[in-house]
Structure 1
Amino acid sequence: MTKNLVDEVEEQRHEVVVDSYTQMWSELINQFKAGDVEIDPLYQRGFRWTVDQQTRYIESLLLNIPTPPIFLAEKQNGSFEVIDGLQRFSTVVKFFCEEIKGLTSKVSAAGAPVENDLNIPTILSHAPILKGLEKLSRATMPDTLLRTLRYARVQVILLKKESSPLAKFNVFTRLNRSGTTLSNQEIRNCSARLTESPFADQLMAVANSEFVCDALKMSVKDRASMGVQESILRLIAFGNYKPTTAKLEDFLDEVMYSISSGGMKFDENEKKKVTDVFKVIYNAYPDGEAFRFRKNGKFTGGFSPNLFDIVAVGIYLNLSKCKKVSVDRMRKLIVELHDQDEAIKLTGAGSNARLKMIGRVAFGKKWFSKG
């Protein structure tokens, strides 16, 4: 059996013939111009990255932040097709599309939005690190930075044509199915540990504290993707910081880094304050009702982050007072806020706009100051 398995491994390894090297993006673009690299094989999904995602990738190239490799497969005629990395490859092509004559590609499907049309130059959006990138395009970016992008290197892993068709199929499916996408909070926790800070573990400890999970009553899926930890971070963030960006994820990233790098002390007193907030909420509504919308006299639907901002942050900012009020009074405060026009506006369309985020915190602070 062992010998047969060894023979099988050796046989299958010979089916996969690969080469690995680094290449400048200018070289890949030139290969694309010449028709030697195809980014629209039938089995690939279309270009779907948002402008924000495209901007982050351009920012990474400018800052020499390591990015995942591009996987190419060599065709029998010697040209190549992208089997993993279409979104990144398309991002660079779109940014430099004015330099590519007669650009046509099935990657940009008919009727594709402007942000995914490879024939329309990219106008970059807000970037987490390089604030000056916003609204820049190839036509307006300084020549020095354009050269930095062109000469930025990317690792290329080439599946050579000597590989069997089955090997090519297996490589593609493994690349697209083998990993589980990390949630934003999982990424934050991993990043925070690089600073050797205990904050990620402290968030986990609070998440496992009595009353917290019951007060939130999140779905199994949300809990598995660290939704409880993210809610705790959200509470600390809005309770102690003011958003400097219109993007919630960037704001939470900034706060996670700030606390992890010592910008704010998360000591036992702060931990107790956070857990006391959830205890107050749990005593009033032990099954997560405080974070559900109320319609026709009943709490319905799933967990609402927008209601969380009003209720949890409002109580956090008035904790001493809220700890003294009766359970009936707290229930009444939570129920009656659903009848407030201001609260409805702040939790509706465009709720993640910066002014609405700030507005929810201000409303919650005012509402629960009534005690």
Structure 2
Amino acid sequence: MTTPEIQKAQAAREEYFLDDGTDVEAETEADDTTPEIARPWNPEQIRVNTKQFSLRNTLDMIDDDSLELAPDFQRGRVWKLVQKSQLIESVLLQIPLPAFYFAEDADGLLRVVDGLQRLSTIHDFVRGGDKSGFALKGLEYLDGVVEGKRFDELPAPWKRRINNAQIMAHVIDPTTPPEVMYDIFRRINTLGTPLNAQEIRHCMSRDRSRDLLKAMTATDAFYEATGMRDHIRMNDREMALRFAAFWLMDVEGYVEQAAMDPFLQRATRLLDSDDEVDDDKASRLMADFSKAMTNARLVFGDHAFRKWPEGVSWRNPINRPLFESWSLTLARYDPEDLERRKDAIVAEARSLMTRDIYYLDAITSSTGDVSRVVYRFRATAKAAEVGR
């Protein structure tokens, strides 16, 4: 391989959200990479019903927890006050809102798939009160009528317009297979600021996996290793999920799924199941994750899970493939052993990122390719044995 090819593979391009860097490296696919979802779905498996709700009924469902707005979903609440106000103005003007998508589970609970920002905004305005409600600002047509007013300050006719407004919702039936449901999420997720894969999984999952991933990423060990806490795009939860997936199913489990999305979906379902992952197993998972984070900080310091080829002193963004392979590997070692050998391990890891083009490819482009996943785990495991 030529030097330019190696330098290109060594480059780390950071993901951005709303013009701000996320401190996570963007994952790229090669031009000839086939899509992860290549199999055709049976159309009879896709069951979506269209229903109509009043906004009053919809807000009641949110308040009594029969319609869930995906707890801890920060990224869905980033609208500025003027954007929120103009949405409320559209409702007051009786302009029909775009259709919403809900997903129903076997217990009858509805989750918002598409339209979280809109429903969160309307709920905050109508039911938020003085604590989380807001006064209208920056209106275009009703500035001389309701500008500066909170919901409780609106005249009764304007309140009725909001409460009686009708919304259209496409409800995904609970009998729809999880893989098909995920693909539906992905396909409809095209307007506004699209959800990323972990945000979609968060919408589809249950409290058990959500709480576990949140607990894993809320530890001091994770923060010290990554610098992340409550990441705006849930990249922290995705990295914890990747660790959990390989911890539960190992690389052989990945080979069976042959793609990252179904692999992580499978892991989410396992974490949501008390039978598959009981409390004792969940505790061991968390302990190993915390140990991996502590060991990564011990060995790599500020460069943990980041590209760090020889001759480079700056701190690159976090690389997901490095995170999954090194975290799983380091969880198997005692800190005392790593402390003794850390200089040799760092040297070997930096050599891989400097000279091994196959390893660089495996952590840079088409990183979900089975052969690349297998290669980077094998190379990482070998590097971690240096000096024993």
Q: Look at both structures and tell me which one has the larger radius of gyration over its CA atoms.
A: 1
TM-score norm. by structure 2 comes to 0.47
* Relative contact order, higher structure (CA 8 A, sep 6+): 2
